[in-house]
Structure 1
């Protein structure tokens, strides 16, 4: 399993532990130099968003991966966590619909978590 795939697996597991909604993985490795994958997830309220961010950071840090940059804070409705190989986007439902990253990045490949786990 590649490092990127391992990171996606860890991030998705952390998100699911915090009941993240509508988790999506987009492979952008062939269309952008910024990362291999985007992981996009929604939460119901600010507390859940923060819990999701904390869980992802804690689990990836335990596995030896450090965020290069985090944009957003406890009051944000979109928090971006850049781990070089993957970028995790945690959204409120409203902001996710508004920014619609899945539409913007339609050139990327939608990936199922099962496919990542199988590699």
Structure 2
């Protein structure tokens, strides 16, 4: 549920996790979230990508970042959908997958925060001149 937590970290609205494995072979879970602006949809998508990349997971594909109306990150078994609120209402994926079981996002620590990279400084000994 790292994707759901990452969405919540970036203030996504109405985050839902749908267990769709019994209904389709496309994915096991769909994680849906809404944003108030195109900029926020992209920020949420970037944060999801960053959080999961820290555990070695990379999306198979990312779609929709150019428009920001609906951004999709496909991680294979889990597909994240971040919508503008009006776009989410229009496509109504919750209605399409109404038979899917809703999964609660566990309360807990937020996704890991950015940690500054340690800078390694290598000092080289000065070459001695013979002479």
Classify the TM-score, shorter chain.
0.7 to 0.9
Counterparts of 2:32 and 2:4 in 1: how far apart (Å)? 9
Deviation of 1:114 (Å): 3.1
In the alignment, is residue 101 of structure 1 matched against residue 93 of structure 2?
yes
SS in structure 1 at match of 2:26: coil
Aligned to 1:47: 39
Q: Structure 1: state its 5+ residue gaps.
A: 1-8
SS in structure 2 at match of 1:59: helix
Counterparts of 2:70 and 2:21 in 1: how far apart (Å)? 23
In the alignment, is residue 77 of structure 1 matched against residue 66 of structure 2?
no
TM-score normalised by length of structure 1: 0.85
SS in structure 2 at match of 1:70: strand
Counterparts of 1:114 and 1:62 in 2: how far apart (Å)? 20
Counterparts of 1:38 and 1:92 in 2: how far apart (Å)? 16
TM-score normalised by length of structure 2: 0.78
Instruction: Give every structure 1 segment of 4 or more consecutive aligned residues whose post-TM-superposition deviation is greater than 4 Å.
Output: none
Aligned to 1:65: 57
Q: Structure 2: state its 5+ residue gaps.
A: 108-131
Counterparts of 1:35 and 1:43 in 2: how far apart (Å)? 23
SS in structure 2 at match of 1:30: coil
Larger helix proportion of the pair: 1
CA RMSD of aligned residues (A): 1.3
Counterparts of 1:18 and 1:76 in 2: how far apart (Å)? 15
Rg bigger for which structure? Answer: 2
Aligned to 2:27: 35
Q: Which deviations, in whole Å up to 9, do the C-alpha atoms of 1:42-75 show, x marking residues without a partner?
A: 0000111111000000011111111111111132
Matched positions, count: 107
